[in-house]
Chain A
């Protein structure tokens, strides 16, 4: 685990100089907040020339985070052009084509809890409060493909601490933004998804240091198809748990219903932990296609338990039958 990881795509110019790293806090307060408006204002998803670079963040190399993945990174173009975001269509290329219709500015997140208190948090305020770091994570889709993505963001635990919900709750529930007029996929009469898309985590899962809120990738702000302006990343679970474009967060003590689980409970469980031993009825989970793959070298690799993050998360499930609670 302590193996030194050198990312071949990072140039020396990408490394944050020590001085700005030390001055980071002051720098962030100014520069990030200034650019937050820009980040949110960036509405054209297909046009990557409008991508906004993060002014400052702690790179994966400098973060001291012990678990930087020694895998080859999935190219930026693949990460941003091969997406599941059914609000914009079922085809993997639909989100890149149509997600730019989503209004990203202004963006506020409705925060509520069972105790009844509700407030709205502006994305800029949230960004101002957080230190941005880079995390390289594997992303394993339940459809048996996978990617390796350098995310930018902050631990979900930090967000929850910052929101400091009054009372103690067992679950945290998320909803994706839902605006019918902006999302052609939600207008499909034949879709069986009950919008908005919902996902949830048990509180101890949410507080695990691996759970991450991404606001960017590859040093740039997120594009709409990747879940701009902010999304969840839970790397030891199948991709559908990592809800995109978060519009609301609810703290609760009841086990929340999640979108895929309510469509097909025998196929999609609440936990959705990556597990090569428990097959999905549609896809064997023993292997995955690490993208980009090709027909003649399909890049099939064996799937690891908890997507390889078992050391950090297995304890969460030690009293759980993962065959039953998949």
Chain B
């Protein structure tokens, strides 16, 4: 039973979403402010956080950064309203794994939660591949789901890990953003490519890629991304 921490300031939305998620067999804790949410993080120990971006006081972005400062691997789904002033990209760069556009039905939210949780495990298109791969200084353990750079482990968020696993499973192959959205986020084909770009950016930062000359994850203009062993 996945443990979901819901941070949402509107009482009706909070209660409605919590009720619906419980019906979908989630163990739900709800908080009405960012501060309260961070408080519950320690006591409740959730598997995933569903975070409203528009919060009074401490914003969703601040909460997102605060969570990432202590836990790189805890999945975070932002709940946002399309076209809201808060840019999705900023939320994604602050470390969110995925986002849903409100209003969202319980079924869609549940599907998203399960997809994000799946990303922490399982290897996409990885059957028949060696369990541990080395590409230059980079070591990817497909079974233990760990990534090391120069022997040092890197803490990756679920979407970052899944993205790296997907790309590195077929070195040299170009993946379009829409393909990656389907493979990594399980969105439909017409999803928001910014999700991919923001995730690649975060991944490159964590892999200490030189800003203008990445070694592992290459941008193929007009097509997408390609993994290459240096």
A and B associate in one complex = no
Listed in ascending order, the chain B residues whose CB lies under 8 Å from chain A are none
